[in-house]
Structure 1
C-alpha cells in the first residue's frame, strides 16, 4: 500500500510542472487569440459600416416550421443576429466600447491564470501578488461585465429604435438579455482572493514563529 502511494506521489510530482506549464501557455495563447480576433471583429465592423448585433425579437414562427408529423403548439423567435448599416455614432460607440471591455476583461483573466501558474511553478502560491491579482481580476470582472452589459444593452436599444423609427418597440422590442454568469464568476474569484489572503497571512505568521 505504501509503495503504491509513493509511486503515485512521484508520478504526481513529475506531472505537476508540465501541467502548470501547459496551463500557463494556454492562458497566454487564449489571451493573444482573444485580442487578435476581437480587434479584427471590431475593425471590420467599424470600417465596413456593417455592425453585427443580436437584437430581441418577438415574432411567430413560420407555417413551415411544423411541416412534419409533429405539430408546434406554441413558439416565437426571441432574438435575431443581424448586420446593420447606417447607424448613428452613439450605438456604434457603445457597441465598440462593450467589445473593448469584454476583450480587456478576458485578457486580465488570462493574465491572472498565467501569473498563478508561474507562482505555483516557483512554489509561491500564497505570494502577496497572487491575492492582489485575484482581487483585481474579480473586481474587474464584476465591474467590467456589469458596465459592458449595460453599455452594450443600451446600444442595442438605440439600434432597435433606429431600425423602427415609426413605431419604436414594435417589431424590435426595446430590451436586451443579461447573462449574470460573469458577475457570479467575479464574486467567486473575489472569494478565492480572500482565501489566498488568509493563506498569505498564515504563511507570514508561521515564518515569524520559526
Structure 2
C-alpha cells in the first residue's frame, strides 16, 4: 500500500515561507523597475554613468593627502559619465539589463513555486527537483552573462570617452566563483533528487 499523505508545517515555518515569498516578489519588482530605468537611460545615451573596472597595476593614480602631498595607488574601479554613449556600448548594456530581469524573474519564480509546494507539505518531488535545478542553472549562467555584457558596456565606454587612450580590457568572470557556484547548484539538485527517491521508497513501504 502506498501513502501519499503530505506533512503539515508548523505556523512558524509557514510564516517564514510566506515572508520569503513576499520578499522574493518585492526583490523581483525592485530589480525589474531598476533595470527598466537603466534600459531607458542606456537607450537615451546622454550623460550615462557607467561603472568601469580597471587593472590596478596598469592604472596608477595620485591620491591627495591632507598634508598636501600625494601617494600613488592602483585604481580598481570608477564611474565614468559618457556625454554621448555609442550603440556599440549601449546595446550590450541593454542586453545585460534584459538578461538580468529574465534571470531574476525565473530564479525567484522557481523558488516561490518551490515554497508553495513546501507549504502544501511536499518538500521532495520530481517537480521540486526540476524547480531547484532550473533556478540554479538559470542563476549561474544568467548572472555570468549579465556580467559579460556589463564588461562590454564598460570597455566600449572607456574606449569611446578616451579615444582608445586607456587600456582597461577587463573581460573576465571569476573562474573559481563560477566553479564554486556550479558545485553548490549541482549539490542542491542532487540532494533534492536523492530526497525525492528516498521519500518515494519510504512511501512505497507504508
Band the TM-score falls in, shorter-chain normalisation: 0.7 to 0.9
Structure 2 residue runs of 5 or longer lacking an equivalent are 1-8
In 2 relative to 1, CA 35–100 (structure 1 residues): closer, same or farther, beyond 3 Å?
A: same
Aligned to 1:175, what secondary structure does the other structure show?
coil
The answer as to 2:169 corresponding to 1:171 is no
- The CA deviation at 1:157 is 2.0
Show the counterpart of 2:187.
191
Show the counterpart of 1:98.
96
The answer as to 2:45 corresponding to 1:44 is no
Instruction: Indicate the larger mover: 130-139 or 182-191.
Output: 182-191
Q: Deviations over 1:16-50 (max 9, x none)?
A: 21111111111111111211221122213323533
Residue 116 of structure 2: which of 115, 118, 123 is its match? 118
Provide TM-score, normalisation by structure 2.
0.80
2-side partners of 1:43 and 1:187: how far apart?
Answer: 36
> Contact conserved, 1:55 with 1:81, CA < 8 A, in 2?
yes
Aligned to 1:61, what secondary structure does the other structure show?
strand
2-side partners of 1:183 and 1:35: how far apart?
Answer: 27
List aligned pairs for 1:5-154, cutoff 5 A. Answer: 13-47=10-44, 49-57=46-54, 58-62=59-63, 65-68=64-67, 74-154=72-152
Aligned to 2:76, what secondary structure does the other structure show?
strand
> Contact conserved, 2:107 with 2:134, CA < 8 A, in 1?
no
Structure 1 residue runs of 5 or longer lacking an equivalent are 1-11
Q: How many residues get paired?
A: 193
Task: Note the aligned Cα RMSD (angstroms).
Answer: 2.6
